Amino acid sequence: MKAVGIVVEYNPFHNGHLYHLQETKKKTGADCVIAVMSGNFLQRGEPALVSKWARTSMAISAGVDLVIELPYTFAVQSAERFATGAVALLDALYCAELCFGSENGEIEPFLQAVQTIKRQQSRYNQSIQQALKDGMSYPQAVTYACRQLEMKEIDLAQPNNILGFSYVKAIIEQKSAMVPQTIQRIASGYHDEVFSHPWIASATSLRKALNGAIEALEHISPYIPFSTKKALEKYYAVYGTFHRWEPYFPFLKYRIMTSEESDLQSIVGVDEGIEYRLKQAITEAETFEQFLHSVKTKRYTWTRLQRMCVHILTHFKKEQMNGIKSPSYIRLLGMSDNGRLYLQMIKKRLSLPLVTTVSRLQKDVIYQQEKKAVAAYTAIFSETTRIQALKEEYATPPVHFNSCK
Amino acid sequence: MKAVGIVVEYNPFHNGHLYHLQETKKKTGADCVIAVMSGNFLQRGEPALVSKWARTSMAISAGVDLVIELPYTFAVQSAERFATGAVALLDALYCAELCFGSENGEIEPFLQAVQTIKRQQSRYNQSIQQALKDGMSYPQAVTYACRQLEMKEIDLAQPNNILGFSYVKAIIEQKSAMVPQTIQRIASGYHDEVFSHPWIASATSLRKALNGAIEALEHISPYIPFSTKKALEKYYAVYGTFHRWEPYFPFLKYRIMTSEESDLQSIVGVDEGIEYRLKQAITEAETFEQFLHSVKTKRYTWTRLQRMCVHILTHFKKEQMNGIKSPSYIRLLGMSDNGRLYLQMIKKRLSLPLVTTVSRLQKDVIYQQEKKAVAAYTAIFSETTRIQALKEEYATPPVHFNSCK
């Protein structure tokens, strides 16, 4: 059996994801698709619309064979670390290829870009540092450094390109045997916030349309598979919400106001004295958006600030992160019959423990942070609902294909 | 002018307090009554029913001349530290006497008890340590130690007696010139939870009757002055609640669940490995009361656990507390015309800064903790109400008698 790996957030799963999934199978001829997926919080520093279990069931229903959790400590991170964790997991699962979406669908420019940078690594790093020092945001600094290297292969300032680039770079650095592949993205830009296609829309626009409530579900249904719609309905029926930042703001505010500057300074992403700006802005901010606006300067991207706020909310400390270099376990969130078969085949060759229940992870430093992420994610529920959600995290066995029908 | 000091919580101010206030004036012949009052959280580890400003206005309306805030770092503490802070403040304000309520109204037994213990201090300490080691709670240990010393003057296991004893002890230890006085308490036991007198009821029973809402205000009005009733109504109209522990539980739960054991261990009151019990019990607890029940053992009193929870909620760290030996400022919350006159008289002789607006305290380590207490206290409000409550903390000038009419 040949496996191909993909890296996803499925927030929520939509027709564009389905297209990518089907094209991936076609292009690679793989018999098994393994998706590494972020959990409660996403790469861009936002709570996931619905739980990892609901998103796993969307994935399995749509044809993914195995869903593996990308731990919080790699998921809520800039592209480089995000890719490091995802590639390590897919490699550990013996994927033959890794396939990601890109703007033009050609892998060659990514390979060349990585080589160009590797050849002039120190000059590239210097340019980045200089640009950051001059007050540029990270994406701006990358663009600047690429210009310095006269790199023409690819525009790394595009979020999708930087992710693809990072996967390829991680594959090379980790000396993985995986072959990188790419598929051209369909119809919708990453940040599109309006519907401009009859059946493809970005996850951002879908979340925006939902805005935390069920009412707009019919409105977005042309853009999502029926199984996604069912999973969203089911989640809403039990938990009464689609998650977004604003309901977490009281907890963020409480946390920042009851922390000293030195406490904040120990949190991942709180750098360059921003703790003083946080303390100053928090008292009078009425909403999360207002707060971020008053903290934002040219130097920080919105995404970077959101990630920092998630780390404050989940109390993710620098000293914790510094101790974590790569994933220490493979947490299985869901599988199809096919995925189960594949697992049985490779089980004995696995170099990381395959985990289906988290009870054995209680002392794992990566899972420690996962628990804190779950605690923060469920904080907005009523106590009875919260206890149920926590039980789901601690006791749910992997979603199996049949369980989604 | 002669001033007398009292130590109060006024949670809420009731007829028993009024009686104590009037008897204090009679007994001491003082022209000015100075009350040191706890702020957002109380000695027993509970949020104050209403804000410090509302309680100050009750006090001034009823005839107190000056209301001084007992900082959080001394207020939410066992009797000894509570008394240390209160006595230091009253002494700094040149009170000639300090007058407290007691079961039998005689000061002599308190003086003798302090002398008995001072004479055999090391034996007393040893007995306490031994008893605690044997798994007794602190009040049990005190009773045991007093029995060892054959002390018959006073039963220190009574909460009111231990407070009175601590005031007298602090006066002696601080070499204060204040003369301790006591007045017999009227009608109602400290812990009485039922109404058994036509116009006197304990603060505990009044809070219990209110249970967070306005409906029972008429029911408790025989037991409180009209001005208290007005102040309660006014507070409820603006803030929509009378504070109690339960609404804070989601924040406590969030805090405990997103803290490592080592974080909890750095908090005041988290000792003897209780952090593991906290982490274990918190996930499944649906209410604060349920949580405390599942954490409680013979060794811990309910009050001690409540205080610990308040410290976790406000993030009060041991290293902070260890740096604080005595109050560093006198924060004026309210005054009558008479009180203002007294202040003008003693102003130049004050050894601690008299503070009416907190802007000058931003770097004071004691006020740092006060800010965190305010942040926690206001966390249960909606954002707009919360911003208003925070402004009140930071910008309210002392309540003046006329402003209460």
Contact A258 B314 (CB under 8 A): yes
Q: Does B392 map to a domain?
A: no
Domain end call among A285, A300, A321: A321
- Same domain for A369 and A316, yes or no, is no
Which residue in the set A253, A379, A383 is minimally distant from B286, CB to CB?
A383
Domain residues for the domain of A271 are 246-321
How crowded is residue A186: how many other Cβ atoms within 10 Å of its Cβ?
15
pLDDT tens-place string over residues A231-271: 999 999 999 999 999 999 999 999 999 999 999 999 999 99
* Nearest Cβ partner for B375 among A258, A372, A384: A258
Interchain pair B368, A260: CB under 8 A: yes
- For residue B120 the two structure tokens come to 């055999």
Strands A399-400 and B3-8 turn out to be: unpaired
CA closest to B370 among chain A residues: A258
Rounded distance between C-alpha atoms, residue B389 and residue B405, angstroms = 21
Pairing outcome for strands B97-102 and B179-184: parallel
User: How close A373 gets to chain B, by Cα (Å)?
Assistant: 8
- Mean pLDDT of all residues in A350-370: 92
Residue B167 resides in a domain: no
Q: Domain boundary residue among A321, A336, A353?
A: A321
B389-396: long-range contacts at Cβ-Cβ below 8 A with a sequence spacing of 24 or more? B389/B51, B389/B239, B390/A283, B392/B51, B392/B53, B393/B358, B394/B358, B394/B359, B395/B357, B396/B53
The residue with greater pLDDT, B257 or B160, is B257
CA distance B105 to chain A (A): 42
Residues of A with Cβ-Cβ distance to B279 under 8 angstroms = none
- Chain B residues with CB under 8 Å of A249 CB are 383
The answer to whether residues B87 and B50 touch, using CB atoms and an 8 Å cutoff, is: no
Cβ distance of A387 and B287 shorter than 8 Å: no
* Chain B hits for A284, Cβ within 8 Å: 387
Which of the four pLDDT bands, split at 50, 70 and 90, describes residue A190? very low
Inter-chain touch B387–A257, beta carbons under 8 Å: no
Q: How confident is the model at residue A187 (pLDDT cuts 50, 70, 90)?
A: low
Task: Please say which residue of A305, A321, A337 terminates a domain.
Answer: A321
Both tokens of B52, joined, read: 């410090």
Does residue B404 register a pLDDT over 60?
Answer: no
pLDDT at residue number B401: 60
Q: Determine, for residues A315 and B258 on separate chains, whether the beta-carbon distance falls below 8 Å.
A: yes
A162, with CB counted inside 10 A (0-12, 13-18, 19+), is: buried
> What is the domain count for chain B?
1
The answer on A345 and A301 residing in a single domain is: no
- Tell me, yes or no, whether A11 and A79 share the same domain: yes
Using a CB-CB distance cutoff of 8 angstroms, which residues of chain A are in contact with residue B313? Answer: 258
Q: Which residues of A are annotated as a binding site for ATP?
A: 7-20, 101, 160, 185-186
Give the nearest partner residue to A375 out of B257, B371, B376, using CB atoms.
Answer: B257
DSSP letter, residue B267 = B
Residues A310 and A360 in one domain: no
**Residues of chain A found within 8 Å of residue B365, distances taken between Cβ atoms:** none
Residues A317 and A330 in one domain: no
| pLDDT (0 to 100) of residue B140 | 83
Interface test with A, best of B249, B251, B254, B263 (most A CBs within 10 A): B254
What is the rounded CA–CA span in Å between residue A123 and residue A132?
Answer: 14
In a domain, A265, yes or no: yes
CA B347 to chain centre: 26
* Cross-chain Cβ contact B314/A251 below 8 Å: no
Do the chains contact at A259 and B376, CB–CB below 8 Å? no
Would the pLDDT of A285 be above 70? yes
Pull the structure tokens for residue A388.
């149920």
Residues in A touching B376 (Cβ below 8 Å): 254, 257-258
Contact B383 A287 (CB under 8 A): yes
The stretch A148-158 carries a mean pLDDT of 80
Interchain pair B387, A260: CB under 8 A: no
In a domain, B257, yes or no: no
- Chain A residue with minimum CA distance to B385: A286
Does residue B227 sit within a domain? no
Type and span of the H or E element at B67: strand B66-70
Helix, coil or strand: residue B183: strand
Domain identity same for A23 and A94? yes
* B251 contact residues in A (CB cutoff 8 A): 251, 254
pLDDT tens digits, one per residue of A81-94 = 999 999 999 999 99
Residue ranges of the binding site of B for ATP? 7-20, 101, 160, 185-186
Please give the residue of chain B at the shortest CA–CA distance from A281: B387
Q: Do residues A269 and A311 both lie within one domain?
A: yes
Question: Which residue does chain A place closest to B288, by CA atoms?
Answer: A383
pLDDT-based confidence at residue A398 (cuts at 50, 70, 90): confident
A329 and A315, same structural domain?
no
How far is residue B209's CA from residue B212's CA, in Å, rounded to a whole number?
Answer: 9
The answer to whether position B113 is within a domain reads yes
The residue in chain B having the minimum alpha-carbon distance to the alpha carbon of residue A380 is B250
Question: How is residue A374 written in tokens?
Answer: 């779950």
Residue range A114-131: mean pLDDT, rounded:
90
**Whether the predicted pLDDT of A397 surpasses 90:** no
Contacts of A139 (CB under 8 A, 6+ apart): A157, A162, A301
Does B187 reside within a domain? no
Residue B286 is assigned to a structural domain of this protein: no
Whether A27 and A83 share a structural domain: yes
Q: What is the pLDDT of residues B168-192, one digit of tens each?
A: 999 999 999 999 999 998 865 545 6
Does the pLDDT at position B375 exceed 80?
yes
Question: Is the torsion defined by CA of A127, A131, A137, A143 positive or negative?
Answer: negative
Both A311 and A335 in one domain: the answer is no
Q: Give me the CATH number covering residue A357.
A: 3.40.50.620
ipTM: 0.92
